[in-house]
Structure 1
Amino acid sequence: MATVVRLDAPGCVSIAEEPDPPLHATGVRLRTRYSGISAGTELTQYRGTNAHVVKTWDPDARLFVPGRPAVAYPVVVGYEEVGEVVEVGDEVTAVRPGQVVWGAWGHRSTTVVEEEYAAARVLDPAADPVLGIFSHIGSVALNVVLDADLHVGETAVVFGLGVVGQIVAQLARRNGARVIGVDTLPDRLALARDLGADVALDAGEGRIAEQVRAATSGRGADVALEVSGNPQALHEAVRSVAYNSRVVTAGFYQGEARGLFLGEEFHHNRVDLVCSQISGVAPGLAHRWDRRRLNTTVIDLAVRGRLSLRPLVSHVVPFTDAAWAYDLLDTHPERVTQVVLEFPAPDGCDHPRGAA
């Protein structure tokens, strides 16, 4: 049997068991070692605010329509996993037991994937296996930077310095941009500075757009990258950029966009507002970039030390503490960055609850 972390209803987390998938000839059985909790999509499912749990998604029309919700509780969530190969099918030759594989298969103790899937995602044996949990969330961040179309010497303002924002800030610097990070939480501002942000501004003190313009000779930022999911932050991002400049938004906004005034700077400064969402890449890049390339690029940068991801992990806890972990993310975001669930080895060893 596979042990899974399940959302039974909004705010209700349980540990359950499901039948372990059978191993077929080209299958690879993975034992999960670590699984990251997303503070974006997963929290909207935990809170019951995600559109998919209240509306029907019509994939042909690409519209949300009234009807039965697309996602019904109980649901197994999670898409930031890393595991060890423990068994392979009779026809498998490209991977072997003991190798570590990253990917997305949910908060579950074991799974079976195809040989091709596993072979394309084998982690360097010298790497910290926890890095594997960043393949998806790191891709979200990389996609934001690709959508931003940054250039050497430009100024980029990153609104929201959670996991995605911290990665966005690092990638923007690697693209040659001067990076200004914005958040309300002191620990996140300090972390951004430690990881290379040129300037970190406390949004709680206000006047962010004015400070950005003062730091750019009155011009404004060349691009703003909004990843907080806060409509007021989106409004300030619009205010922060120069005339005819771009705001890239990857924040997962819930409910109404209160605090966003489109008749002000957005209209008068001809701001280009771009949605960055992981289901696709910018049209001009689609012939060269896809999800796998985004994934592998992030992992490769992390393994080679060109992207610092391990400092983003604030907590590694036993998977049995999942309910506690979700509550922590939901009610005390100031105490946490990336929470990782650890699944025990066969001998039952477990990591103690607390900071990594």
Structure 2
Amino acid sequence: MFNGIALLILLGFGVGIVMLVRRSILTQHRSDLLSLAAAGNDNERANAFRVLRSLRARTIAGMAAMVSGGAVALVLQQEFTAAAGLPLAVAPAGMWALSAAVFACWRLPHEFTGPSTESSLQVSAELTPRSTGTFGPAWGIVLPAVLLGASALGLVVAGFLSGTDEQGRFRNLPYVSAGGAELDTNMVVTHIQLGVGTAGPFPGWYYGLPVLALLLLGAGLNLWALKTNARRPRMRDLRLLAFDDAVRTNVGYVVSTGFSAMLCFQIAPMMLAAAVAIRSSGMNPGYVVGQVLDQDTIPTMTLDPVLGFLALAIAVVALLLLVIGTVLLVRLLGWMGTTVRPLQLPATDSAIA
């Protein structure tokens, strides 16, 4: 019966991911950077394509940084097995920190030599201030901030609840349980004995502090990248203003979506590990005072209802974060894909003046 319910849950989870990802793909509306870059005369078009080449190179470098970070984490996991999975535990945050550093430090060009005569005669200035959240999704600041705050709070709480393992690392969950019973001469349970134990792995300070440090580093680089994207001077060619906005929007979506997806994939596995440890700590032999035992009696394990509900709730939230992270990852790949395509205009666009 339990296996059937678990199978139905897994099937429903898989169908939900497929539907959300499909909806996510079909509802994305991205500007065609190539078409917008073709506006204006030859000099303005050349300037736009310089920006596109830089944007494509930066996107590829950011993707390479993420892949390299994941590869390093796998190698460290194989080489340092005594680290108890720490390289993999910090891998998502470390991968995004490397990628965010690329987006934050690599500036896109905005000043060009030899401006066109038409554009140099026209001077314009925007009265609307550009802030960190001006470009990109409407949730680009709120969602990552909520996820980061909840993640940091959860890691701190888990750290205070954690206990040491045999090597003194805070990666276990200590608990008190009714693990034994006192019997009289007739094998009747007269008293329930309390014992102590530990369950793990648990996201205590051993995992939580490195992850928290990388999350804060990634958040700082993320804000830096969004700020430089918004504050970057405008392109002077008036007919490229729509292209300039589209580039900024693309960068805003990539940075905000990437950071949000990383937060989901970083905290969800740790939540699942915490749920398993909490559930294990709530399992107790079902001794009852007055129960008659014999040598062949195997006590039935019972689950504390409060701890069982808490573990289930944490596991459900973790699965929802995995769904959200998958949808955000698809969106991230879509936005990145618009910048890594070959920079070749269709024949119908080549004649635009």
Q: TM-score range by the shorter chain?
A: under 0.3
Report the structure number with the largest CA radius of gyration. Answer: 2
Q: Which has the higher contact order (CA 8 A, sep 6+)?
A: 2
Kindly indicate which of the two structures has a greater share of residues assigned to helix: 2
Q: TM-score, normalised by structure 1?
A: 0.23
Kindly indicate which of the two structures has a greater share of residues assigned to strand: 1
